[in-house]
Structure formats: C-alpha cells, structure tokens
Amino acid sequence: MQPRVTAVLVARNGADYLPRTLAALAAQSRRPDSLLLVDSSSSDSSGALLSEFGGAVITTPGRRSFGDAVAHALQVTGGASTENEWLWLLGHDNAPEPGALAALLGAVEVAPSVAIAGPKLMRWDAADTIAAFGETITTFGRSVQLVTDELDQAQYDVQSDLLAVAAGGMLVRRSVWAALGGFDSALPSVDAALDFSVRARLAGHRVVGVPSARVATAGAPELFGKRSLSAGAQNRIRRAAQLHRRLAWAPALAVPLHWLTLVPLAALRSLVHLVAKRPGSVGGELAAGIGAAFDGSVPAARRSIRRTRVLGWPAVDAFRMSTGQVRERRAQERAAAAIAFSGHREGPGFFGGGGAWVVLLALIVGLVAFGRFLGAGALAGGGLVPLSPSVAELWAHVGYGWHDIGMGFLGAADPFAYVLAVLGSITFWSPSFSIVLLYLAALPLAALAAWWCAAAFSRRGWGPAVAAIAWAFAPPFLASLSGGHLGAVIAHILLPTVVLAIVRAARSWAMAAVAALLFAAVAASAPVLVPALVVILVAWMLARPRGILRLIGIPIPAAALFAPLVVEQLARGNWLALLAEPGTPVLQESPSGWQLALAAPAGGLHGWDALLAPLGLPGLVPHVAVLVLLAPLAILALLALFLPGTARSVPILVVALLGFATAVASTHIAVSLIGSQATPIWSGAALSLYWLGLVGGAVVALDSLGARASAPAWVAGLALVAVAVPALVATASGSIAVAESTGRLLPAFVTAEASSRPDLGTLELQAEPDGGLAVTVHRGGGTTLDEQSTFAATDTTLTDEDSRLAQLAGNLASRSGFDIAAELDALQIAFVILPPPAATEDAQATHLRTAESLDGNRLLTPVGSTSVGYLWAYEGLADGEAPSGPGPTETTLGLGILIGQGVIFGLTLLLAIPTTRRRRVRSARGADSDETGAVAGEEADDE
C-alpha cells in the first residue's frame, strides 16, 4: 500500500525563510498527501505567507515550542493514525531539496522496523556544507552532534542506523508519534528530537539517517523563532535539557542522588566556566541546576518511558560515544581550529625587533643610577618610608579597621594598602626590600611594558623600540622615582599593559579579567587617574559595543577596593579627597602650565637648568635645550595625524589630552594636609598618561613611515635619552630625596623600647614655617608606608581627640601648670621627638622655644640628638593601654568588606588565569583598518 504522508510545517517569526521553504515544499518530486500549516503566534508576516500558499492555517494559542505546535495541529485536525501513515516535520527554515521526501520514504519502505528517518541537514547559506547529521550522547549523557559544519564530500553517505536525528525534516510513523506522546514538552528545543528518538529505540523501533535526503536549515533548534541567542543563554538551555534527560532516564534508585547533586554540581561547574573564560555561562549554569531541582515534569517523562519501553538501555548504549572517542573528537576540533586560525599579522619580535636590546640598556642604566641601593634593606625620603617589618602587619592594615595615626581612628584603609601588601609579600622575609628591588628594576620593567604594548600596535620594530626608550626614561617617571612617589611609579610601569589589556578585553574574557586587575592596581596607586581611565574605558565600550559585557566589568574590582573609602569621604562631604595621592604626604609646589606641557611634575627643566648653571650660560639656553630634545617626540606625535593610520592616532592623542587635563587639574586640587599647610596632588601620574599618549602617537607615525622610520627613530630615541641625563646623574650621585634606609622610622632607642611594647607612643612636634607647631603620634616603631591614610591626611575637621592632642603639645612647648604626666600616661606616650625645623625664622624660633621648654620639663629626660631629631624620654610612664580598636577581621563590617573584596578578586583571578588555548585573529583588511582601529591580531577566547 502506498504510504500516506502528512507534512506539518511550523512557522514562528520565519518570514525571512518561508518563501524559500514553501517553494521547496511545492517542488517535491513526491508531494505530501496532506499539508498542515501551523503559525505559532508569529509577530511578523509568517501567517500571511502561509495563507497565501494555500489551505487553512492553524494558529496555536500562545508561542508554542516546535513539538507542542505539531501536537496541537494534529489534535485540531483529528483523525486516527494508521500503520502506514507518516508525519513529515518541517520548520519555517527547513527547505527540502526536490527529492528529499522521496528519499526518506524509500528508506522506510525497505525497512519496516524503521519508525524515524532523518535527512542530512545542510547550511542555509552554503548548500555544500553539512550543518548536522545524526546525534548521540556521551557516557555521561551529554548530547553530541555527530557531524557539524563539514564540507559534504559523501563521506557520511554509508551511515544508516543512528541513535537520534534532528527534528527538522524528520519523517516519523504517526502511530509511533501517538504512542510515544510526541516530543517531551519539557524540552522545548534542544534535545527534544534526541529524547524522542531514544524513547523510540527503547520502544523497539529503529532510527536511521538518510544521506540522500537533503534539507536546508538556518540554525540550531534553540534559535527557532529567534533572531539571536547569547552564548550564556544557549548554555543554559542545553544544560537544562541535559539535566532533565538525566533525571528522566536515570534508574529509580539513582534519581535521589542526581537530585541532591544538582545545585552543588552547578556551583562547581560555574567555577569551571570561570576558569575556562566563560563567565557568561555562569548564570545559565546556576539557573539550569536550580530549575532542574524543581522540575515538575520529570515524573511524567519517567512514566512515559516506563509505559512504552520494551527494550533495555543496552539498546541505547550501543550508540553512545565512548570517552576515547570524545577525546579524539576534541583533539580533532582543536587541530582544525589551530589550522583555521594559524595565520596572524606579522609584528616585531622581541629579540629581532630590538626589544631585548632596549630592555638591556634600561637595565644597565637603572643599575648605574640606582646601584647605590644594591645593599640596602629599605628606602626612605620624599614620599617614601619603609613598610611594616612583617607580612602579617602589612595585611593587617587593609580593609576596614583601627589605624594608629595621630590619636587613632576606626575607618577604611586606602586601596593602595592592598598594593603594598602584595608588593611586600613578594619579599616576605623583608617587605621593605621589595621597594628596593622595584627601584632597581623600575627602568627595565617600564621599557618591557612599553615595548610589549607598542609591539601589539606595530608591524615594524622602530616604533616599539622608541616607545620602550621613551617610557623607561620618561621625565615624569624619573621625577616620581626621585621624589619617592611610589604610587606614581607603579602606575607608570603598569599603564601600557592596562591600555593593551583594555583593548584586547573586548574579545577575551581572560584579558578582561587581567585588565580589571591592572585597572584596580593603577587606580589604587594613582586615584587621580581614575576619571581619565573611566573616560577611556567608556569610549572603548562605545567603539566596541559587541564586547561591552566584557568591558563593563573591568572597573568592578577597583570599585570594590574604593567603596568603603568612598562612603566615608562622601559622608564627610569631601569627595575630592578621593583623588589624594596615597602614601606619605609631601609638601610641594605646583608646576606652571608650560612646565606641565614639558612633562615636568617637579617644576624646573628636568635638571638641565641645574646642569648648565655652572657654565654661566644665558638663562634661555636650558629652555632651548629641553625644547630641542623634546621636539622629535612632539613632531612625530603630531605627524601621526597626517599619515596613514589616523584612526589609530586620534584616539591615542586624545589620551594625551586627557592626561594633560588631569595634570593641570591635579595641581589645583590641594586636599592633603601637612600640619597646617595643604599640598596639591602630585601630577607625575597624570603626566605619565600624557606622555603615554605622545609616545603612542610617535609609534603610529613611525609605523606609517615604514622603511623611512630609521632616521626619525634614532633622533627621537637619542634625544629622549639626553633629556633624562641630568635626572639620571642626580640619581646616581645621591642628589635626590630617596636614600638608603636602615628601615627604622624613629631613633634606635625608641625602636628598641617599642620591640617589646608595640603600642608605645612617640609624640612628634614639628615646627611649621609659619611659626605653628604640628603634632602627631607614632606607635611602636613608627608610622610605616602601609599605615598611611588619605582619610587622615585629608581631614580638615577638628575633633575632640585633635583638641586633646593639641592641648598636650601646646603645654609641652611652653611652661604651664597642665598635668602633662596624666595625659602622657593616658595616651601611653613614652617619647617626645623634635625634628629639625624648616628654614624660616618663625619655624626656627618655634623650634628653639619648644626645645627649651622640653629641656626644662622635669618629667622628660633628654636622650640626645638622633638622625630624625632631638629626643626626650618620659621614664615615669605608668602601666596602661593606648587608644586602640578592632582590626579588619574583628568587626562584622570589616569582615564583610574583606570577604566581599576577596570574593570579587578571587573570581577575577580565576577568570584571568590562562587555561584555554588561544588563537590569533587575522584581519582581512590590514593593520591600518583593523577591526580594533588600533590592533591587528587580537587574541580571542577559544570557548
């Protein structure tokens, strides 16, 4: 008897595909005997197209899945199924070739045991490429497509029996469809056909693939009726389908065990997704696990299997993909991906392109300039003081807790404390030694970072080589090193890698995480750069909207570090204080506008004025010399605007403008107090960003000049080295603020006493230039760099504790009847130190008057002159407890802050750890018009 075929065509928002599908259906050499046209509540013109084709259109109530739409259509039309009646299931994007139905019927007519036959699905836009043909499962139940995106060379035309076939183009005996209850409603798209095919096999039927039947398809089943679907959503759908099948197929005794492991396994797999650089899949993974735990459709699915099963699971196991086959398949996919993406843009090599030589030069110059620190255990001077003597103390100063500064306070630590804790932990046996190593390696590290960044933007070696020289010998960098501005030094070294990571973060989750960590380190080291960096990041988001999910998370770790301090400063009403330079406040003059334009944060002419002064030359000569030496870099940066590659030069010069604007603003923001004097923010970090933009412009220009770049590169490189000569000479001769230190902050006598009494106080009285007296309290061995706090340095309010301390200092500096002993006992102050005064008459007069008063006080015993000032001891100190408070882990708030920050940074580190193979993406348009506008050959996550 001739088999009867009912074609069921389901459309949902498929107006773009229906004309071709309907035309292909009409062109079949073996036409279906009847046709059911189903519109699953489309919002486009799908319903009209179906009506124009002819026949009644069945509209489903609500948006139904493909399987539910087929079931609804069959229920509406009614009619009893016969053994020789078949259903041909098609979606709006399934255009069959003319002989497809005839080939499918030919396969089932010669094999009565076959209940399901599936065609070879071909790509909609490439008729010679197999989109899918056959499906199976692994040992652990994960669904696997046997063939995907392969050129059709008849290599699979001998296959017949399969575990499962796709829903699109499936030919199924109607009686089997009715007996099995159609597709499982709990599987709306993914694995619906797989589950149905497996149940058919358990019911004693065969499933075959028919290679000669070819049907076009436009996408995976989860995309049916959708324009697009994110990778995370696809992972959620597939994982939810897998978990539903696992619960529905598992033996009864194993179901409780599977159910108990759903949520823990989802959490574990979420961590795996993070490590594998797939954070977008984490939410879907958790949602799938929790959803499966409350999946009420599982009992019905298990009852359906029990009702229809006549064979055991060995009938399915024979078609599973073994573990060895899975490994082999993955190896083949990796090999194919490596071949497909093996091409990459040519760029300069580190050794062949001159990078190694520049780094070596920077290392030699750095050792000559800072070689006198080779035997040092610590450094001090300017804004630099030693770190705490132990790693435990370093980490005790992070987060939210008690700070022994002045009278002490409970509050948030600077984010820079985390940077210092990490830095000091590198040399855990002597934390302060890490700063010595940083100074010795500062120049080569800066050169390496700049070369690495510039090489990603260049095709030739001249640009990266000049960038490495310019960055290692950058005037603001050398000025920050000389003045002990450690935060600005760290920010300068990291800035090129931050820029490179942000650029690459648009395509890579791993680089996004690296960028987040570097962004946090730079923000903590130089808060004044945060506004400019945020502007750069937002601009890159607008330029790369497809990567916005990766880019938008970059500031999160930095925000987590700053959040406690932001809350406290905003509560105080002093939000500009958030931009204050971390570390020890340093009194400094604001450079003029033209000095900022010359990248001189400390004023002057980069030392050329002092170097040429003994020669008796006119005062204009140093200005001309500096302008001439800086001119090649400036000319190259401006020339980049008029050479090929403007799309790259404009953004990088905008970065220079942002840096300069930040530097100008910083000189007008005086938020840190030193005694009664306010000092502006150090502009060195902002000028580093300004310098970065200029160097970037020069790199673009040299890259565009090609073979003609050698002469400008030599001129610019030599000129930039020459600019740095006075600063390097001053550093090597010891004529800078930073010097070798023993690691002691207070006299040895005080340090010895404090070794057994860490809470012992030392009162420091400093004569101010205006004749006032600044007072502070040091605990133990002194206030280390990691104990410094911008919250304290920017405090302009006079508290009761401040008044109490001022009263004590005033009575010590003059004779009075005040009970000094009781106050010293209460505050546990055992020493008074009087540092040398400023070079003003008022300061010297105040210093002399204070010294005489202290000498005349019978309670104080003169110890003598020390390296940090004159010292007196209070030997009658009574037993007691100094003002103190809880540490960062001793309060609920402090512990919560540490846990929150720890979780954020832990997850970011997991995401940043390289665990997957990476490929380089080649631009088809060349470097000048590359997709990024700046970088050819970006890395992409291999997910």
Neighbours of 840 (CB within 10 A): 14
Q: Dihedrals φ, ψ of 171, to 5°?
A: -110, 120
What confidence score (pLDDT) does residue 79 get?
A: 67
Closest CA to 321 of 581, 59, 87, 138: 138
Structure tokens at 705: 């000049």
Answer yes or no: are the C-beta atoms of 235 and 24 closer than 8 Å: no
Answer yes or no: are the C-beta atoms of 217 and 131 closer than 8 Å: yes
Is pLDDT above 80 for 124? yes
Q: Residue 55 and residue 350: Cα distance in Å, rounded? A: 70
Q: At what angle do helices 646-667 and 684-705 cross, to 10 degrees?
A: 160
Q: Residue 81 and residue 810: Cα distance in Å, rounded? A: 105
The predicted-structure confidence for 771-828, as pLDDT tens digits, reads as follows 888 899 999 888 999 999 999 999 888 888 888 888 888 888 887 767 889 989 999 9
Answer yes or no: are the C-beta atoms of 178 and 104 closer than 8 Å: no
Q: Residue 526 and residue 513: Cα distance in Å, rounded? A: 20
* Average pLDDT score, the chain: 88
Amino acid at 99: G
Q: Residue 218 and residue 803: Cα distance in Å, rounded? A: 77
At 923, is the secondary structure helix, strand, or coil?
coil
Q: Mean pLDDT across the stretch 883-906?
A: 93
What confidence score (pLDDT) does residue 925 get?
A: 35
Q: Residue 465 and residue 446: Cα distance in Å, rounded? A: 12
Closest CA to 359 of 437, 468, 478: 468
Q: Residue 828 and residue 851: Cα distance in Å, rounded? A: 21
Amino acid at 889: T
Closest CA to 223 of 143, 135, 131: 131
Q: Residue 779 and residue 795: Cα distance in Å, rounded? A: 20
DSSP classification of residue 456: T
Is pLDDT above 80 for 914? no
DSSP 702-766: HHHHGGGGHHHHHHHHHHHHHHHHHHHHHHHHT-SS-EEE-S-SS-HHHHHHHTT-TT-EEEEEE
Query: Measured over all CA atoms, what is the biggest interatomic distance in the chain, rounded to whole angstroms?
Result: 126
Q: Residue 47 and residue 10: Cα distance in Å, rounded? A: 10
Q: Residue 170 and residue 87: Cα distance in Å, rounded? A: 8
Angle 640-645-650 (CA atoms, 0-180°, nearest 5)? 60
Closest CA to 508 of 349, 336, 279: 279
The predicted-structure confidence for 519-548, as pLDDT tens digits, reads as follows 999 999 999 999 999 999 999 999 999 889
- H or E element, residue 841: helix 841-855
Answer yes or no: are the C-beta atoms of 74 and 38 closer than 8 Å: no
What confidence score (pLDDT) does residue 327 get?
A: 86
Angle 329-334-338 (CA atoms, 0-180°, nearest 5)? 150
Is pLDDT above 60 for 659? yes
Answer yes or no: are the C-beta atoms of 225 and 91 closer than 8 Å: no
Among 253-267, 338-352, 880-894, 897-911, where is mean pLDDT lowest? 338-352
Q: How far is CA 205 from the centre of its chain?
A: 53
Amino acid at 896: G
Q: Residue 497 and residue 514: Cα distance in Å, rounded? A: 9
Closest CA to 558 of 602, 523, 534: 523
Among 178-182, 194-198, 453-457, 617-621, where is mean pLDDT lowest? 617-621
DSSP classification of residue 840: S
At 879, is the secondary structure helix, strand, or coil?
coil
Structure tokens at 907: 């997850």
Query: How sure is the predictor about 934, in pLDDT bands with cuts at 50, 70 and 90?
Result: very low
Closest CA to 473 of 358, 372, 382: 358
Burial of 855 (0-12, 13-18, 19+ CB in 10 A): exposed
Answer yes or no: are the C-beta atoms of 746 and 727 closer than 8 Å: no
Q: pTM value?
A: 0.80
Locate all alpha helices (DSSP H) within 576-669, ordered by sequence: 593-597, 608-612, 620-639, 646-667
Is pLDDT above 50 for 341? no
Q: Residue 466 and residue 358: Cα distance in Å, rounded? A: 9
What confidence score (pLDDT) does residue 412 get?
A: 94
What confidence score (pLDDT) does residue 12 get?
A: 92
Among 26-30, 297-301, 376-380, 743-747, where is mean pLDDT lowest? 743-747
**Residues 6+ away with beta carbon under 8 Å from 21:** 9, 14, 90, 91, 92, 93, 94, 95
Structure tokens at 891: 């309060």
Pairing of strands 95-96, 206-217: antiparallel
Neighbours of 570 (CB within 10 A): 12
**Residues 6+ away with beta carbon under 8 Å from 228:** none
What confidence score (pLDDT) does residue 343 get?
A: 44
What confidence score (pLDDT) does residue 915 get?
A: 63
Query: How sure is the predictor about 929, in pLDDT bands with cuts at 50, 70 and 90?
Result: very low
Is pLDDT above 90 for 177? yes
At 445, is the secondary structure helix, strand, or coil?
helix
Neighbours of 436 (CB within 10 A): 21
Neighbours of 443 (CB within 10 A): 30
At 853, is the secondary structure helix, strand, or coil?
helix
Closest CA to 7 of 55, 61, 64: 55
Dihedral sign of CA atoms 65, 71, 73, 76 in order: negative
State the number of CA atoms in the 13 A half-sphere of 80 facing the CB. 2
Is pLDDT above 90 for 514? yes
Amino acid at 350: F
The predicted-structure confidence for 615-654, as pLDDT tens digits, reads as follows 777 778 888 889 999 999 999 999 988 887 677 888 999 9
Q: Residue 928 and residue 643: Cα distance in Å, rounded? A: 11
SS (H, E, C) 95-138: EECCCHHHHHHHHHHCCCCEEEEEEEEEECCEEEEEEECCEEEE
Is pLDDT above 90 for 194? yes
**CA distance readout (Å), 595 to 381, 585, 602, 606, 613:** 24, 22, 9, 9, 19
Burial string for 479-491 (b: 16+ CB within 10 Å, else e) reads bbbbbbbbbbbbb
Structure tokens at 310: 């006549």
Q: Residue 936 and residue 921: Cα distance in Å, rounded? A: 8
Answer yes or no: are the C-beta atoms of 454 and 699 closer than 8 Å: yes
Q: Residue 681 and residue 370: Cα distance in Å, rounded? A: 26
Is pLDDT above 60 for 94? yes
What confidence score (pLDDT) does residue 678 get?
A: 86
Structure tokens at 264: 């823990």
Higher pLDDT, 343 or 237: 237
- Percent of the chain surpassing pLDDT 90: 60
> Which residue bears the tokens 């010292």?
871
**Residues 6+ away with beta carbon under 8 Å from 284:** 232, 233, 235, 236, 237, 239
The predicted-structure confidence for 259-285, as pLDDT tens digits, reads as follows 999 999 989 988 888 777 778 788 889
Answer yes or no: are the C-beta atoms of 912 and 497 closer than 8 Å: no
